[in-house]
Amino acid sequence: MLGWIADSRRESRSLIRSEKYLKSLDDERSVWLKGKRIKVYEHEAFQGTLQTISALFDMLDDPVMQKQVGYPSPKTGEYVHTAFLVPKGPTDLQQRKAAFESWSEATDGMMSRLSDYARSRLAGWYAARKQLSRHYRDFSEKITRYYETARDQNRFITIVQRDVQINRSKQYDERCFEEAGLLRVTKKTTEGVYVSGAKMIATAAPYTNDFLVYPVMKLNQAQKSAANLFIVPADAKGLHIVCRESYAKPLSEKNDFPLSAQFDEMDALLIFDQVLIPWEHVLLLESPEGIWEVKTNPHSASLAYHQALIRLKTKLQFITGLACKIADTIGCTQFLHVQDKLGELIGQVETIHAILLAAESEGRSIEDGVYLPRFSAIETGRNLGAFYYPRAIEILQLIAAGGLIQVPASIEDFQSALSPLMKTYFRGANLQAEKRVRLFKLAWDVIGSPFASRHELYERFYAGDPIRNRAAQYLSSNKRLLLTKIEKYLSN
């Protein structure tokens, strides 16, 4: 899948983007895994993931691929990732789409926080800097400087918004901020502000360069000490990154766990213990209105979720292809209920595809000539995804059934003395045994491995609580046209 990169490397010595990125991880960051402070780039849990990210970053240095995923920086002329491009019309939006498709295709939609989502949010805030400047002095200058640095230095960035899950009933009662673990300002000095508290969940935290940190709740003036937007480098003093258990398998087990070995995106809890945020990195301070606008800003939300939907489409295509192949392999495509379920999967892909087209073709130019996809379409697709993915996994399980378990422990078992018998009994209707086992091992990595469970949870919750997201769509949508259709029946 990523083999082209090795060929390009042989041909050219100019592929240095990944080398720079890997080197940037050799800093003083405090990353904890299983009770030990670790060096991310040396630890085997990150090998496959870092290799995948490196290959994606190196596309920007490949003479052919760089046009697909990048554009020349207006400042340096070097190719930078298209997630930073502020779209000024439909062509720019399509250029962004092509870049997201390339990265999604290379990972079959299994990696979602490759920084293209966070870079899109950043590009949105940069594009909306005039409007957002109302909430804090120097916002425009600071966001411009950071945006240009992140773009031209290929900074890996990730976003963390949610507050740590301790006691949701007390969370936003300002008398309980400390008890609820909320990230809040504790001290202001001439250098900047000190913050303490925690944030969850930060996907990609151990190997990011910077975090963009802010809350997503609607806060009031009494809660203003939690209403801030900061840029925090991963090696900030006092910041601790506590990883969950690794679901990554060693690259040597790629045959048995093709996805876990390459695409595990680590998630972590961030603990801020009196972390100094220099003024240059304080984008909003004690501004509940500003934070609400940062969350709801159409530039940032439309661009970020446009990326997320493109990735979702690729992932659903992958699951659908897998389900079709399995049904074919075990000879069950003639059963009506199997056809019905495969049709449902194809319908999921077509729906997300159509929503993307609608959002793009009904995009509009807003202030400063920025062109955005239609948000209500994007929002619909995002909200459907939280329910589509778990259903897609359920369908895959219903079709593959016991075949998911009818596999030897390892593909290497085919090298044993039992190989001739295994070749007879592990075969499919139209597939030889070793390939059938590879197919079902791939399916297990989508359904049954720890990596798989994390993905189901991710798709349900990455954009927040799916129930409250749908409720928010109801609350924010303009229902006048819908109601007019009914009103005409209610009067004489």
Ligand X SMILES: Cc1cc2nc3c(=O)[nH]c(=O)nc-3n(C[C@H](O)[C@H](O)[C@H](O)COP(=O)(O)OP(=O)(O)OC[C@H]3O[C@@H](n4cnc5c(N)ncnc54)[C@H](O)[C@@H]3O)c2cc1C
| CA–CA distance, 226 with 176 (Å, rounded to integer) | 12
Q: Which of 137, 168, 479, 485 forms a contact with ligand X (CB under 6 A)?
A: 168
Amino acid at 359: A
3-class DSSP string for the chain: CCHHHHHHHHHCCCCCHHHHHHHHCCCCCEEEECCEEECHHHCHHHHHHHHHHHHHHHHHHCCCHHHHHEEECCCCCCEEEHHHCCCCCHHHHHHHHHHHHHHHHHHCCCCCCCCHHHHHHHHHHHHCHHHHHHHCCCHHHHHHHHHHHHHHCCCCEEEECEECCCCCCCCCCHHHCCCCCCCEEEEECCCEEEEEEEEEEEECHHHCCEEEECCCCCCCHHHHHHCCEEEEECCCCCEEEEECCCCCCCHHHCCCCCCHHHHCCCEEEEEEEEEEEEHHHEEECCCHHHHHHHHHCHHHHHHHHHHHHHHHHHHHHHHHHHHHHHHHHCCCCCCHHHHHHHHHHHHHHHHHHHHHHHHHHCCEECHHHCEECCHHHHHHHHHHHHHHHHHHHHHHHHHHHHHHCCCCCCHHHHHCCCHHHHHHHCCCCCCCHHHHHHHHHHHHHHHCCHHHHHHHHHHHHCCCCHHHHHHHHHHHCCCHHHHHHHHCCCCC
Q: Which of 50, 132, 202, 356 forms a contact with ligand X (CB under 6 A)?
A: 202
The minimum distance between CB 367 and ligand X, in angstroms, equals: 27
Q: Which stretch binds ligand X (CB under 6 A): 138-146, 231-239, 312-320, 453-461?
A: 453-461
The minimum distance between CB 294 and ligand X, in angstroms, equals: 13
Report if residue 308 touches ligand X, rule: CB under 6 A: no
Task: Give whichever of 269 and 433 is closer to ligand X, judged by the CB atom.
Answer: 269
Q: Which of 162, 218, 325, 353 forms a contact with ligand X (CB under 6 A)?
A: 162
Task: Give whichever of 8 and 49 is closer to ligand X, judged by the CB atom.
Answer: 49
Report if residue 21 touches ligand X, rule: CB under 6 A: no
Q: What are residue 38's DSSP bridge partners?
A: 31
Report if residue 166 touches ligand X, rule: CB under 6 A: no
| CA–CA distance, 88 with 77 (Å, rounded to integer) | 19
The minimum distance between CB 132 and ligand X, in angstroms, equals: 19
Task: Give whichever of 161 and 348 is closer to ligand X, judged by the CB atom.
Answer: 161
Report if residue 467 touches ligand X, rule: CB under 6 A: yes
**CB-CB contact of 289 with 223 (8 Å):** no
Report if residue 210 touches ligand X, rule: CB under 6 A: no
Task: Give whichever of 201 and 316 is closer to ligand X, judged by the CB atom.
Answer: 201
Task: Give whichever of 67 and 162 is closer to ligand X, judged by the CB atom.
Answer: 162
Q: Which of 104, 115, 161, 228 forms a contact with ligand X (CB under 6 A)?
A: 161
Task: Give whichever of 216 and 346 is closer to ligand X, judged by the CB atom.
Answer: 216
Q: Which of 176, 200, 366, 472 forms a contact with ligand X (CB under 6 A)?
A: 200
The minimum distance between CB 246 and ligand X, in angstroms, equals: 14
Task: Give whichever of 304 and 327 is closer to ligand X, judged by the CB atom.
Answer: 304
Site for ligand X in 84-143 (CB under 6 A): 113
**N- to C-terminal Cα distance for the chain?**
66
Q: Which of 32, 194, 387, 461 forms a contact with ligand X (CB under 6 A)?
A: 461
The minimum distance between CB 484 and ligand X, in angstroms, equals: 31
Task: Give whichever of 99 and 118 is closer to ligand X, judged by the CB atom.
Answer: 118
Report if residue 451 touches ligand X, rule: CB under 6 A: no
Report if residue 354 touches ligand X, rule: CB under 6 A: no
Task: Give whichever of 131 and 161 is closer to ligand X, judged by the CB atom.
Answer: 161
Q: Which of 464, 469, 472, 473 forms a contact with ligand X (CB under 6 A)?
A: 464
| CA–CA distance, 257 with 250 (Å, rounded to integer) | 9
Q: Which of 39, 465, 476, 477 forms a contact with ligand X (CB under 6 A)?
A: 465
Q: Which of 116, 267, 286, 293 forms a contact with ligand X (CB under 6 A)?
A: 267
Task: Give whichever of 159 and 243 is closer to ligand X, judged by the CB atom.
Answer: 159
Report if residue 203 touches ligand X, rule: CB under 6 A: yes
Q: Which of 159, 308, 310, 446 forms a contact with ligand X (CB under 6 A)?
A: 159
Size of the site for ligand X (CB under 6 A): 22
Q: Which stretch binds ligand X (CB under 6 A): 44-52, 386-394, 460-468, 475-483?
A: 460-468
| CA–CA distance, 340 with 157 (Å, rounded to integer) | 41
> In this chain, which residue has its C-beta nearest to ligand X?
203
| CA–CA distance, 363 with 93 (Å, rounded to integer) | 9
The minimum distance between CB 67 and ligand X, in angstroms, equals: 29
Report if residue 285 touches ligand X, rule: CB under 6 A: no
CA distances from 390 to 4, 75, 253, 453 (A): 33, 44, 26, 10
Give the residues lining the site for ligand X (CB under 6 A): 113, 158-162, 165, 168, 200-203, 267, 454, 457-458, 461-462, 464-465, 467-468
